[in-house]
Amino acid sequence: MGVNEILEYLSRGDYVLADRITRLKAKQHYLSYVSKLSCDEKLELIDRITGGLGYKGRDLNILQMNFAGTVISWIEAVKPKARVLEVGTGLGRTCFIVVSNVDTQLYLTLDNSLTMISIALYANPIREYMMALNKSCVKVVWADATKAVNAIDDSFDHIIHDGGPNPNRNPKLFSKPFLTRLVRLLRRGGTISVFAGMNRFWQEKIYAILNEIGIRVEEAVHLPSSRAIVYHGVKVV
């Protein structure tokens, strides 16, 4: 069983089985690969996969990371019993911010990197993030988000798009076709937070796309000590 089966379960709305398979695959990957890495090697992997934004290499500034997580998650917009969809699990930072502060009905988080999921679940340098990912409301899914948004037939109250610190590295995740399909999963009146990176070209492009696909951008917020912008918006059509 692998990614195709996971996508099939996503299409059925069976997030429990998708999560179960993901955790099984992640544990196998942890035992065969991640567990053999040194702490420095794991941190280097985290930097390489996530782009390092907020992690600063070996210097894990938890306060700064959590503050960035509050901006990226737009925690103020998440209501009790909300159904949340996240693109980009990473270490579980935004998951921690949300589920530690709000009693969510569902927190469905997608990540395309089995290595990142394995580290987050079984070798996380930040214990609180690992604990958050193991809460009963959290379903972790190993999937390519560009395929997952086509498979999922559901409605969410809040979406967090933290699909990478550099849209140039993952342009499909910031394209109009992908964002259109992602917003399709957001209920009318629902809220969305989109990381737009530091590049002015991408910031302007993403802002324009969001407006074109029915998202009213409420604010553009800078991450701490960074030129990176996060857009907070509401689905109006």
pLDDT at 60: 73
pLDDT in tens, 171-199: 999 999 999 999 999 999 999 999 999 99
Nearest CA among 77, 121, 119, 125 for reference residue 98: 77
Q: How do the domains of the chain map onto residue ranges?
A: 3-235
Question: What share of the chain has pLDDT > 90, as a percent?
Answer: 84
**Highest mean pLDDT pick, 52-61, 118-127, 158-167:** 118-127
Is it the case that residue 58 has pLDDT exceeding 70?
no
The Cα-based distances of 162 to 52, 84, 159, 176, 196 in angstroms read 13, 13, 10, 16, 9
Can you read off the two tokens belonging to residue 47?
């930097």
The residue with greater pLDDT, 80 or 169, is: 80
Task: Give the model's pLDDT for residue 117.
Answer: 98
CATH fourth-level superfamily of 3-235 = Vaccinia Virus protein VP39 (3.40.50.150)
Give the CA angle between residues 156, 98, 96 to the nearest 5°: 130
Q: Cβ distance 152 to 112 under 8 Å?
A: no
pLDDT at 54: 47
* pLDDT for position 48: 85
Q: What is the pTM of this model?
A: 0.95
Q: Across all residues in the chain, what is the average pLDDT?
A: 94
Q: What is the pLDDT of residue 53?
A: 53
Does 8 have pLDDT greater than 90? yes
Q: What is residue 5's predicted lDDT score, i.e. its pLDDT?
A: 96
* pLDDT-derived band at 210, boundaries 50, 70, 90: very high
Mean pLDDT (whole number) for 221-231: 91
Q: 24-28, 66-70, 73-77: lowest mean pLDDT where?
A: 66-70
Quote the CA–CA distance of 159 and 232 in Å, as a whole number: 10
Is the predicted pLDDT of residue 56 greater than 60, yes or no?
no
CA-nearest of 109, 106, 120 to 78 is: 106
CA distance 163 to 206: 13
Cβ atoms of residues 85 and 19 within 8 Å: no
Structure confidence at residue 230 (pLDDT): 97
What is the C-alpha to C-alpha distance for residues 122 and 200, in angstroms, rounded to an integer?
37
pLDDT given at position 52: 60
Nearest to 159 by CA among 179, 176, 177: 179
Q: Examine the pLDDT at 44 and tell me if it is beyond 80.
A: yes
